[in-house]
Structure 1
Amino acid sequence: MSDDDKALRLRLAERLAAGGHLRTAPWRTAVETVARHEFLNGGFFERADSPGTTAWRPVMPDDPRWLQRCYDDESLVTQIAGTIAPRDIRGEIMRAPTSSRTLPSLVVRMLEDLQVQDGHRVQEIGTGYSTGLLCARLGDDLVTSKEVDQDVSASASVALAACGYFPELVVGDGLTGHPASAPYDRTIATCSVLDLPYAWVEQTKPGGLILATLCGWMHASELARLTVGKEGTARGRFLDGQVSFMLARPHLPPDLGILPDLDAADEQPTDTGADVLDDWTARFVAQLAAPRAQRLTLERDGRTEHILLDVNAGAWAALAQDDHGTWTARQSGPQRLWDDVTEHITRWRRDGAPALDRFEITVTPERQAVAWSKV
């Protein structure tokens, strides 16, 4: 490792400590030790200033900005559309990111929140820079990391070896965990999930912790920390902070396909307008009512329509606002999506609109339940 790299690692640790993300000496030592740029040796994508659809262009190691950017506190996209790496592109690409190196402040905040102790065995879902930090903190013999993408896992393996770490790396669906090396004292996921897999509960020791981000298809998410009980149930709270990760690939929403006939329902006034979904916490509450609904906007007949669509259930709601500010809703399908959302939002507001750190989550073999405490 070069002197330039060492100085950047020390500077990154100082910034993260000053920001309150890096709170304990063992994790600071890990940040000062692990070379983040090794996990970005294949380059990364940066957002291009292009009109219309978001475009991405590669930044490779021969770019003079590359090393400094590797130690900035930002997420760096490393894969587009499931297979496309920075080396594959000359120019720009307009496709959706599918893998990234998470901003260091979030990585270390989560590792601190995981509350590991010396000797703990950790299962990690998603392999990368965080894996290196876990190895530096605990020793690579206590780290098992599972990654769904074989190319991402292979790249991370090379980076980890360059840093001197050889943890157990597994390729496969992280939602099933890795029972062969269970039980674990801690389980941590660096992807979002719609429902916390019960396999993670089964593979974590009683009294152990699970740290994961819960999300819905309206894209409000939050980090939760659960304690596994002796009876096989995990309970915990959300930690607040609007933490966001890419969804686990098996939990990605389906293609919208052909939209339904949005005029095939009567229009009714509603006291709850679609603008409520602009608030992160309110949108999270809405997702509890309609967790498989996707949100989109359309311009039709000179007005903006806000659409909720549950493709699998065949249910939809379309909302619009007239010139006087009155909201109306049209709904169709087996579930009255907007009625359900309105009921949840109304009850949440009646209870004082509690913040997400007052929400509790329980996971059992049969179901996942989320409830909030009154303010």
Structure 2
Amino acid sequence: MEYVIVIAALAVIALIIGGVTLLRPRRTRPPVERPSERTGGATAADTADTGAPTIEKAPPTEVAPPRPTVEIERPPPGAGRLVRLRARLARSQNAFGKTLLVLLSRDTLDEDAWEEIEDTLIAADMGTAVARQVTDDLRTRVQVLGTRSPAEVRELLKDELLKQIGPDIDRSLHTEAHGDRPAVLMVVGVNGTGKTTTCGKLGRVLVGDGNTVLLGAADTFRAAAADQLETWGTRVGAQVVRKDEGADPASVAFDAVKQGIDTKVNVVIVDTAGRLHTKTGLMDELGKVKRVVEKQATVDEVLLVLDATTGQNGMQQARVFAEVVNVTGVVLTKLDGTAKGGIVVQVQRELGVPVKLVGLGEGPDDLAPFEPEAFVDAILGD
């Protein structure tokens, strides 16, 4: 009986010990860290235990946001631009052409009618002498022709206007490089005529024709001029050389041509200051720029930018510039903003140089090589 009691007591003790064991929390091993999850291959606890120096976690490196990539534009070629812009030109010049066509289509042309024709030509800024000559030539041809159909009148007027504009004048831009030296174009004119914008648009025309171009910001009296050129250059991938505001313009022009030679571009366009100086001031500044440039390369073109809307005032400015530098061609801007297309004839007569380019709007591709026949067709309409 005693044995039974002892065995029962032992069984109870065993059950109690087993229960206690089950109730005790199990010790779990800490998870093994991967080296890549530890700072410097060791945790702060590890270094504290071993006495090794603590390795601090480096702050994340700040990555600069990527610079926005500027898509280089591919401008259309210069050839045929005036034809594509004909509608815009016609809108401004059509009144002039239609008035002449209506007058010449009358059954009877008396003295009053011929006087009205001459006045219309003068009002179009053709100049008094030219207007009188055109009227006399038309009068002679009408007397010979006798009766006139509308088609004959249009052809008659077209011939006369083309003769005054000069269809056979060389209006090409001289942009051929000279061996390892680029062609150099100087652009001159009074501020407000669109001179700097013309430089940028001209760069687009030349890039569209397959040339490499460098723009020299030698109008250092206006910081905005250099900024404008840089914007134009960025859009078509043209290099730009500029200096701080107030720098010597001749120095900028020299550096532009030097960089153009070093980088083997086809054409360098130099934008010059457009302040309306006295004749002496203009002579000194523009003359110096040209002399400095010619130490390295030939100046192939000196393009005078004129605002077609200024009329006689623009002609006075043109004469000053023509006396200062050897102007080789004229750029008429804002021609779509005036009904006085006769300014083309007057400018060429007064300066003895051709109109080579015309501006017909605010768009980047609104500068076009001047084509006399397309111009007259736009004036007379269909």
- Give your verdict on TM over 0.5: no
More helix by share: 2
Q: TM-score, normalised by structure 2?
A: 0.28
